[in-house]
Amino acid sequence: MSVLHRMLTGHTVAVFNDMYVTHIRSVFREAVLVTSTVTAPGDSGALAPGASRRNHPLVTVVILCFGGMVAALMQSLVIPIQPELPQLLNTSSANASWVITATLLAAAVAMPIGGRLADMIGKRRVLVLSAVLLVAGSLAAALSTGLVLMLVGRVLQGLAMAFIPVGISMMREVTPPSMTATAVAAMSATLGVGGAIGLPLSAWIAQTYDWHMLFWVSTVLAGLILAAVLFVLPDGAPGVGGRIDVIGSIGLAVGLVATLVAVTKGNDWGWTSGSTLGLLIGGLAVLVAWGFFELRHADPLVDLRTSARPRVLITNIATVTIGFGMMAMMLCVPQIMEFPTATGFGLGKSMLEAGLWMMPGGIMMMIFAPVSSILIKKVGPAVTLAIGAFVVAAGYVLAFFLMDAAWKLSLASIVGTVGVAIAYAAMPTIIMTSVPQSETGAAIGLNALMRSLGTTICSAVAAAIISSKSVTMAGHVIPTQGAFETIFVVAAVAALLAGVIALMIPKPKVAEASE
């Protein structure tokens, strides 16, 4: 009890504030020092070999974070208009649902392949390609009046999600060592910031203007990213060369798409239907065959032997459960806020109001990025990952008991997203200290895929729980309060499991850390 008392005193708060400010100042000083020094190719300095084009770490971090935020924003862009998509695109509800699913599938395929390509030809080139895809996809969606062109645009936007893992892996090359953890934490946080800002922004645009304006705005933002990557971003380390594993890429794409379609559509099609079982079994079989092929390939798309290292493997397993735990908050809280008060638990908020209540959580993710960096340096990334997971679990416990007011749910969301910020910063840090630098892009891409897999599984589990705990009200089938409570409990358990798994991550070997 005395320890708890000291933690709550102003003295401890002051010490923590001093640590926080000192950390920020030290990072800023080193960044300024590196910024003022132009490193020629071959020179020894704070930056990794090959980072020779322009040396402006702070500017680089801002560009990469902005790019990651906009790429993440694409995921929540169509949520405000999702109920109207069948009418807007003159198609059925089943077909319109692919506007969401197509982006998810494309992103899942793009992240590991884009990461490997970045290791081969250089990360800046893949970032340019991702930005071009983001511009093209946004423009196609802005010009669309039917389903086909919209799906093309959404697929291209999904492929552009490779920007995020490649950008994170590039941090290792273009920032001084003392700045890397903070930079990675900041970019990891942009995933939440993009979604948090995107929801109210999209709702406001959709309510105020024609729905096409959503994609015209995203086109402009994507164009700004492309210009910044082309003219400001440093080159980074040169690629290691090699040939792209075409068969491995196709096998991974087929296996992932089949498996994820089965998982995302299983609740609609029926989990025992021939389509669901056929795609699920077929997709898993392809992935198993792909694994055997990759182990025998001289230059594989994903080095499974490196991925099987205990630190990498256990981190990726924890990432799946973290992804599961993170997604439940984004799925449940807006629905609870938007359901009418006649349900007995809904809060009767508009989409815009719900988005505004969710926004503080995303902003707190960015604010806590330096805190994540401090924890990583003080206790190590594995313990930091566990702390983040336990904080996420605490957020769900709060949500379970605080469903009766918007501000209370917002508070629970803030706690959960702070945990996500801490965990998201730790995961890529563990990966980057466990693999050779020549494989950083592919390894971070695979880790991002694991996170995406966790969110997809969470969506499927949540849909199944809602289907089993629904009632009919005024001719509409809606979930009960118990459905959301069950999801919160399941997500809390998943987050706790992630924390326990994280504590099992072994410390890095000297040989691994120095590669």
**How do residues 309-350 score in pLDDT, each as one tens digit?**
888 999 999 988 888 877 888 778 888 888 888 888 888 888
- Predicted pLDDT of residue 142: 93
State whether 346 and 228 are in the same domain.
Answer: no
State whether 343 and 289 are in the same domain.
Answer: no
Helix-then-strand count for the chain, H and E: 22, 2
Helix (H, G, I), strand (E, B) or coil at 479: strand
Sequence-distant (6+) residues with CB within 8 A of 309 are 434, 435, 512
State whether 410 and 484 are in the same domain.
Answer: yes
- Predicted pLDDT of residue 281: 94
State whether 175 and 162 are in the same domain.
Answer: yes
Contact present, 396 and 495 (Cβ < 8 Å): yes
State whether 324 and 294 are in the same domain.
Answer: no
Helix (H, G, I), strand (E, B) or coil at 476: strand
Q: What is the mean pLDDT of residues 195-200?
A: 73
Whether residue 384 has pLDDT greater than 80: yes
Q: How many domains does the chain have?
A: 3
Helix or strand run (H / E) with residue 473: strand 470-473
Tokens of 511: 């040989």
State whether 357 and 481 are in the same domain.
Answer: yes
Q: What is the mean pLDDT of the chain?
A: 80
- The band of 54, judged by pLDDT with boundaries at 50, 70 and 90, is low
Q: In this predicted model, which residue has the larger pLDDT, 297 or 29?
A: 297
- Predicted pLDDT of residue 13: 36
Q: In this predicted model, which residue has the larger pLDDT, 408 or 4?
A: 408
Q: Is residue 235 part of a domain?
A: yes
Range of the domain at 418: 304-515
- Predicted pLDDT of residue 44: 35
Nearest to 293 by CA among 304, 284, 282: 304
Q: Which domain-ending residue is among 224, 241, 258? A: 241
Q: What is the mean pLDDT of residues 239-252?
A: 82
Helix or strand run (H / E) with residue 205: helix 177-208
Whether residue 196 has pLDDT greater than 80: no
State whether 190 and 314 are in the same domain.
Answer: no
Rounded to 5 degrees, what are φ and ψ at 52? Answer: -120, -10
Q: Is residue 198 part of a domain?
A: yes
Q: Is residue 1 part of a domain?
A: no
Rg (CA), the chain: 22
What CA–CA distance (Å, rounded) separates 355 from 372?
25
State whether 413 and 499 are in the same domain.
Answer: yes
- Predicted pLDDT of residue 46: 40
Q: Is residue 18 part of a domain?
A: no
- Predicted pLDDT of residue 19: 41
Q: Give tens-digit pLDDT for 109-133.
A: 898 888 888 888 888 899 999 999 9
Q: Which domain-ending residue is among 220, 241, 262? A: 241
State whether 61 and 82 are in the same domain.
Answer: yes
Q: Is residue 43 part of a domain?
A: no
Q: CA 412 → CA 195, 319, 320, 334, 358, distances in Å?
A: 17, 21, 22, 12, 10
- Predicted pLDDT of residue 37: 37
State whether 132 and 115 are in the same domain.
Answer: yes
Whether residue 16 has pLDDT greater than 90: no
Q: In this predicted model, which residue has the larger pLDDT, 413 or 361?
A: 413
Q: What is the mean pLDDT of residues 426-451?
A: 84
Q: Is residue 44 part of a domain?
A: no
State whether 192 and 327 are in the same domain.
Answer: no
Q: CA 17 → CA 7, 25, 378, 420, distances in Å?
A: 13, 12, 15, 21
Q: Which domain-ending residue is among 199, 216, 241? A: 241
CATH number of the domain that residue 90 is part of: 1.20.1250.20
State whether 98 and 131 are in the same domain.
Answer: yes
What pTM value is reported for the model? 0.78
- Predicted pLDDT of residue 55: 53
Q: Is residue 426 part of a domain?
A: yes
Q: Is residue 437 part of a domain?
A: yes
